[in-house]
Amino acid sequence: MSLTLFDELTPYIRALLLLNVSSLEISGEAKKRSEVVSDVHYALTKGMNGYDIPSNYSFWPLTEQLLEELAKAKVIHSETIRFAGEYYTYINSRYPAFRKTALETNAIASAAGRIGGRLFPDVFAGYTQEAINNTTHAEQLEEREPSIPVSLSENKRISLINEIGAVEARLDDQDLSNADKAQARAFLNAAKALTEAPEPPADLIWEILNRANSIAGIASLFVTIIAIFLAN
């Protein structure tokens, strides 16, 4: 599955964190998962404060990634108690060894050692410029967006319903995360339900299908759907 521009920035943020944050400053008492997620997120945002991270960057995906890494390395210990549920305990004394091992195998951290302090500011500046360029390109594409039909004929409606069902059946065969599959399936179900309505709202169906089509890795599945929708 192809990465978004946002996803491509995350390894640089992770490397910057490992290089500059020697302690996550998370308390060691047992907590529920949601509490630990909040603690890790706070530690990330606090640790990266002052490094001019692009303003549109969200630390939540990296929070989940780091939480999994810490749990795998036993820096965060988990245990399940019947009726009470699962608890997580952060063991601060294990973080330095985790950090050392992670840095030894991190290509971006190695590059930062060779290039010096300008690497991350240059990366963030390049990311911001590319994001601006992508936004401009998207706006240009919107100006050339095809004419959307006001209504759907009965034949087109039936064809769309059948093809949406066929695409949904093929989702499990795609190289997608469970979250992306669930998101795509939700869009498809919504579009199908609207298409089955007595007076299907063509503009809303088109918007929903476009959102599903934008999920990385599945655009090829929508070629027939889009062709049916735009056919005269």
Average pLDDT over residues 172-180: 80
| Helix%, strand%, coil% for the chain, nearest 5 | 65, 5, 30
Going by pLDDT thresholds of 50, 70 and 90, the confidence category of residue 217 is low
Nearest to 24 by CA among 53, 10, 44: 44
In whole angstroms, what is the distance from residue 226 CA to residue 146 CA?
11
Going by pLDDT thresholds of 50, 70 and 90, the confidence category of residue 221 is confident
For residue 149, the model assigns a pLDDT of 65
Going by pLDDT thresholds of 50, 70 and 90, the confidence category of residue 205 is confident
For residue 35, the model assigns a pLDDT of 92
What beta strand segments (E) does 11-166 contain? 76-81, 85-90
Spatial neighbors of 39 by CB under 8 A, at least 6 apart, are 26, 27, 31, 90
Token readout for 68 is: 């999994």
Residue with token string 């027939």? 224
Above 70 in pLDDT, residue 2? no
Q: What 3-state DSSP class applies to 79?
A: strand
Going by pLDDT thresholds of 50, 70 and 90, the confidence category of residue 139 is low
Token readout for 64 is: 């989940």
- Judged by average pLDDT, the poorest of 26-35, 96-105, 140-149, 181-190 is 140-149
Distances from the Cα of 11 to the Cα of 18, 84, 114, 126, 132, angstroms: 11, 36, 17, 15, 20
C-alpha neighbours within 13 Å on the C-beta side of residue 176: 21
| φ, ψ at 82 (rounded to 5°) | -55, 135
In whole angstroms, what is the distance from residue 227 CA to residue 232 CA?
10
Above 80 in pLDDT, residue 137? no
For residue 43, the model assigns a pLDDT of 93
User: Cβ(6)–Cβ(57) under 8 Å?
Assistant: yes
Which of 45-49, 131-135, 143-147, 183-187 is the most confident on average? Answer: 45-49
Going by pLDDT thresholds of 50, 70 and 90, the confidence category of residue 115 is very high
Residue with token string 């007076």? 199
Q: What 3-state DSSP class applies to 85?
A: strand
For residue 19, the model assigns a pLDDT of 96
H-helix or E-strand spanning residue 212: helix 202-213
In whole angstroms, what is the distance from residue 69 CA to residue 66 CA?
5
Distances from the Cα of 99 to the Cα of 41, 68, 92, angstroms: 17, 14, 11
- Judged by average pLDDT, the poorest of 71-85, 130-144, 195-209, 213-227 is 130-144
